[in-house]
Chain A
Amino acid sequence: MNLASTFIVATLISATNAVDVARADVVVVMNAQSGVERLSADDVTNIFLGRYRRLPSGANAIAIDQPTESGLKAEFYRQLVNKDLAEINSYWARLYFSGKTSPPNQAATQSEVLNLLARTPGGVAYMERKQVDARFKIVLDFSP
């Protein structure tokens, strides 16, 4: 049956595309000039899921997503809300097509994330710990 063979092919494709990024050490960062010292996991969830994009300082929060190919994005949402990207996409389909909030700003490359964050005081992003330089400040660390 056609449908069955489509299912099988799709499963094989997604299995071979799976990238093991479970060990990536992801931290949530903001611009060093932001005036924000730390965010709770709830704050970060509210900002990235578009529920409430306001920083503790009262300023607007601007969420920035890593490119999907980096694997960081999948790891971030797994750590934050234990959801895979299909669920996050489905969540955004609901909000987007009911005319509510838009998803985070989607960067095209990892270096674009760094550039955007460096010039956006209200920006909130995530990256590997080793990418954090003097321009940035870690506001939430998932590792105990």
Chain B
Amino acid sequence: MTCADLLIRLLAWVLLTTPLVSSGEEGAALSFPGVSLKGFGTIGVARSDDDGVQFVRDLTQPDGIGSGWSMKTDSVLGLQLNASFTTQTEAVIQAMSRYRYDGSFTPELSWAFLRHDFSPAFTTRLGRMGTEFYMLSDSRLVGYSNLMARPPPDYYGQLVISYFDGFDVTATTKLESAPWLGLLSGKFYAGYAAERTPFEDNLFWEMKGSLLLGAYVDVLSGPWQVRLSHARLRLKNEQPFDKLMGIDIIGLAPELSVVDKWARFDSLGVVYDNGQLQIQSMLSRINQESHAFEDSRAAYFIAAYRLQQSTPYLGYSWVKSTASRPDPQRPRIISEIMTQLHSDQHTTSLGIRWDFATNLDVKAQVDFIRGAPQSIFPFRGKAGRWDGHMNVFSLTLDFVF
């Protein structure tokens, strides 16, 4: 039994043996222990107008959508149990079902941790929790908390890790000497990846055991929030090329080996949220030690303005990777693999979020993807007649309960 399994069993036992407190009683709002069960979800339909490649929300999805309407891209259901033992200690367990690496909606345990707040300024968590490679990346599946139908795939699509087993520590301070700086916080986390990611032909790439380290510095001042983040992942397992092709590809081209190589993620996020106006902008850079993937840069910008219950928004995102230099010495099969790894496209998105009832919203969105025909990496499926142009139409109903 691994540490994570043990912790999960321990948490489950603690939760099951904690008495349930009715919050309807007078004064119960401040009493402990307390258990609450809440959930979130999205029912989404989407289609594109191009069958050349399949559009996916991110690369954790083994296949995507074409010109027929489908519910698999954005639909998700999550349940979360919070148990507070004192005002400072809480256990959280979250299970989630979404279209995943093996083409099923099999539920997964996405969170299972203990949080302890030593003070309002210092918090630590231990167990399984969401990754914060980029700002907002640990809530990208909670549709109700996001403005757009889905986080921009140009920016978030390459993140194939949603959770990890480990710990984090967060420190927050208010600088009395520099009140204009607002709140300054920093976080450090470390642990091991626990997921699988789809490869091709029903094969998957095991991420479990890959070491993950990350940190950020965040400043929150009035309507402004600025965050600088770094995360790095040291891969434990090779991609299953040999199973796919029946030959020892890594032996043939050692440059495609990823084991013990770091992937480094740097990002800068800026959010301006002032009353009815919301602006988000983020930049990122992924540097790969292995030549099995290309280095890439990505960015996005969203502006939204709320008019009573409706919030129209406009988004723009792009991603571009550095193509490896053609090498005539390289076996043809390797060159072919490497052409699958390129990204070079930008997307303009137009949409509206309508908060038509408490804890419910509906979003309608159109994405205009424009890129080079070589921009294949962000998609799934064998590229057929693909000219780099695609429009995607989405309608989602998001809820929390």
Per the bound structure, the CA–CA distance linking A83 and B306 in Å amounts to: 9
Which one of B113-121, B190-198, B232-240, B248-256 is at the interface? B113-121
**Residues B18-37 near A (CB distance < 8 A):** 23-24, 26-27, 29-30
B129, CB-defined interface residue at 8 Å: yes
Q: How far is the CB of B143 from chain A (nearest CB, A)?
A: 9
CB of A16 to closest CB in B, whole Å: 13
**Cα–Cα, bound, A90→B119 (Å):** 26
- Which residues in chain A, 53-96, are within 8 Å of chain B measured between CB atoms? 53-54, 60-62, 64, 68, 81-87, 89-91, 93-94, 96
* Chain B residues with CB under 8 A of A91: 145
List the A side residues contacting B395 at CB < 8 Å: 3
Inter-chain CA distance A53–B121, complex, in Å, is 8
Verify B113–A116 contact, CB threshold 8 A.
no
B29 close to A93 (CB less than 8 A): no
- B84 to chain A: which residues have CB within 8 Å? 102
Number of interface residues of A (CB under 8 A): 42
B38 to chain A: which residues have CB within 8 Å?
A: 96-97
The answer on a CB contact under 8 Å between A112 and B27 is yes
Tell yes or no: B375 within 8 A of A by CB.
Answer: no
Q: How far is the CA of A70 from the CA of B186 in the complex (A)?
A: 38
Partner pick for B120 among A11, A52, A102, CB 8 A cutoff: A52
Q: List chain A residues, Cβ under 8 A from B119.
A: 54, 60
Also in contact, A42 and B40, with CB within 8 A (given A86-B361, A106-B29): no
- The answer to whether B26 touches A112 (Cβ under 8 A) is yes
Listed residue (A62, A68, A108) with the most chain B CB atoms within 10 angstroms of its CB: A108
A87 — nearest CB in chain B belongs to which residue? B306
- Interface status of A143 (Cβ within 8 A of chain B): no
Residues of A within 8 A of B182 (CB): 42
Contacts of A106 in B (CB 8 A): 23, 29
Q: How far is the CA of A81 from the CA of B277 in the complex (A)?
A: 11
> Number of residues in B with C-beta < 8 Å to the partner?
54
Nearest Cβ in chain A — how far from B147, in angstroms?
Answer: 9
Given contacts A54-B121, A107-B29, contact A94 B145 (CB under 8 A): yes
Contact at A99–B29, with CB atoms within 8 Å?
Answer: no
Contacts of A46 in B (CB 8 A): 174, 183
Assess A86 versus B355: contact at CB under 8 Å? Given A64-B29, A96-B38, A105-B30.
Answer: yes
- One digit per residue, 1 when the CB lies within 8 angstroms of any chain B CB and 0 when it does not, for chain A 97-134 equals 11100100111100010011000100000000000000
Q: Which of A51, A54, A93, A107 has the most CB of B within 10 A?
A: A93
- Residue among A52, A90, A115 with most chain B CB within 10 A: A90
Contact A116 B27 (CB under 8 A): yes
Task: Give the complex CA separation of A108 and B356 in angstroms.
Answer: 24
Q: Residue A14 at the B interface, CB < 8 A?
A: yes
Report how far A133 CA is from B18 CA in the complex, Å: 38
Known A-B contacts A64-B29, A86-B309, A99-B111; the reply to A94 vs B142 at CB < 8 A is yes
Q: Please tell me if B92 contacts chain A, counting CB pairs below 8 Å.
A: yes
C-alpha gap A87/B144 in the complex (Å): 10
Q: Indicate whether A51 sits within 8 Å of B26 (C-beta atoms), given known contacts A60-B120, A82-B276.
A: no
Q: Which of A68, A96, A102 has the most B CB atoms < 10 Å from its CB?
A: A96
**Judging by beta carbons under 8 Å apart, are B26 and A115 in contact?**
yes
Complex alpha-carbon distance, A49 and B121, angstroms = 15
Q: Chain A contacts of B27 at CB under 8 A?
A: 112, 115-116
Which residue in chain A gives the minimum CB-CB distance to B395? A3
B245 partner residues in chain A, CB cutoff 8 A:
none
Interface residue? B125 (CB, 8 A) = yes
Shortest CB-to-CB span from B31 to chain A, Å, is 10
The 7 listed contacts between A and B (C-beta, < 8 Å) are A11-B309, A13-B357, A14-B357, A60-B87, A94-B146, A97-B40, A97-B139
8 other A-B residue contacts (CB within 8 Å) besides A10-B356, A94-B136, A94-B142: A51-B172, A54-B174, A60-B120, A86-B309, A93-B400, A97-B38, A112-B26, A115-B27
Q: Give the A-binding residues of B (Cβ under 8 A).
A: 23-24, 26-27, 29-30, 38, 40, 78, 80, 82, 84, 87, 90, 92, 94, 111, 113, 115, 119-121, 125, 129-130, 136, 138-139, 142, 144-146, 172, 174, 179, 182-183, 220, 222, 274-276, 306, 309, 354-359, 361-362, 395, 400
Closest 9 interchain pairs by CB?
A82-B275, A94-B145, A86-B355, A105-B29, A54-B120, A10-B356, A93-B145, A98-B138, A94-B139
